[in-house]
Amino acid sequence: AQSVTQLDSQVPVFEEAPVELRCNYSSSVSVYLFWYVQYPNQGLQLLLKYLSGSTLVKGINGFEAEFNKSQTSFHLRKPSVHISDTAEYFCAVTNDYKLSFGAGTTVTVRA
Amino acid sequence: ETGVTQTPRHLVMGMTNKKSLKCEQHLGHNAMYWYKQSAKKPLELMFVYNFKEQTENNSVPSRFSPECPNSSHLFLHLHTLQPEDSALYLCASSQDPSGTQHEQFFGPGTRLTVL
């Protein structure tokens, strides 16, 4: 079984500042990793995923994440955030078809 | 319609009512999922259907009853719910549970309030 820990429940950030959301996972087998975003009153939308290959993964809306196997981490970054990035972000892991999600990080972008 | 749709978007029901949530995917996927999302808790997987067959029941109380008549439609029948069942119920689908992509596509959810 896998589990996911998102280390920050809330991250306030100013517009145009960088942001990093931390995600650590535990698993005894190789995994696939995902970041999802949930805007208010909407479902989850995939930002990016790591399946194999390059450990630096680029996603939509200028987000990227780096898979670090030795540290079992998959942190999400964006160099310059916009007001529209205000949302909840979920890290997820799987080694089959069942996703295990973290509790989420709420990002609030202020002008 | 594209993607994954869910109806209704909002539902208020009493503890003695019977209601159903509907999910439809227009992506040609073969697997469908029900999740429960409560505030400040990780998403909880409730049920998984692969090719219309239920393959996962994550210790969900029997007051929640899923139905998958075909690969495109998934229902969640509700009866005699409790106030703690109030949550956002999300439906998702994926192409092939045994495949390599693993990405799940989510609907907008049904916000359920049990009085």
**Distance (Å) from the C-alpha of residue A35 to the closest C-alpha of chain B?**
10
- Which of A9, A88, A98, A100 would you mutate first to test chain B, the one with the most B CBs within 10 A? A98
The more confidently predicted of residues A30 and A15 is A15
Confidence check: pLDDT of A53 > 90: no
**Option in A43, A97, A100 nearest B108 (CB):** A43
Percentage of chain A modeled with pLDDT above 70: 100
pLDDT at A30: 81
Confidence check: pLDDT of B1 > 70: no
Confidence check: pLDDT of B71 > 80: yes
**Option in B40, B56, B103 nearest A49 (CB):** B103
Residue of B nearest to A99 (CA): B45
pLDDT mean across residues, chain A = 93
pLDDT at A52: 86
Residue A80: which of A69, A68, A64 has the closest Cα?
A64
Residue B61 to residues A38, A92, B80: CA-CA distances in angstroms? 27, 25, 11
Question: Tens of pLDDT along B10-54?
Answer: 999 998 889 999 999 999 998 999 999 998 788 999 999 988 788
Pick the CATH number of A3-110 from 2.60.40.10, 2.20.25.90, 2.30.40.10, 1.20.1070.10: 2.60.40.10
Q: How many residues does chain B have?
A: 115
For chain A, the 3-state helix, strand and coil shares in percent, each to the nearest 5, are 5, 55, 40
Look at strands A32-38 and A44-50 and give their pairing.
Answer: antiparallel
Question: Tens of pLDDT along B83-102?
Answer: 999 999 999 999 876 656 67
Residue B74 to residues A31, A32, B8, B21: CA-CA distances in angstroms? 28, 26, 13, 8
Q: Is B98 on the interface with A (CB under 8 A)?
A: yes
Of A78-82, B53-57, B78-82, minimum mean pLDDT range? B53-57
Q: A99 and B104: CB-CB below 8 Å?
A: yes
Chain B, residues 44-73, CB within 8 A of chain A, namely 45, 48, 50, 56
Read off the amino acid at residue A66: E
Contact status, residue A106 vs residue A10, Cβ threshold 8 Å: yes
Q: Residue ranges per domain, chain A?
A: 3-110
For B35, the enclosing helix (H) or strand (E) is strand B31-37
- Phi/psi at B85 (nearest 5 deg)? -80, -5
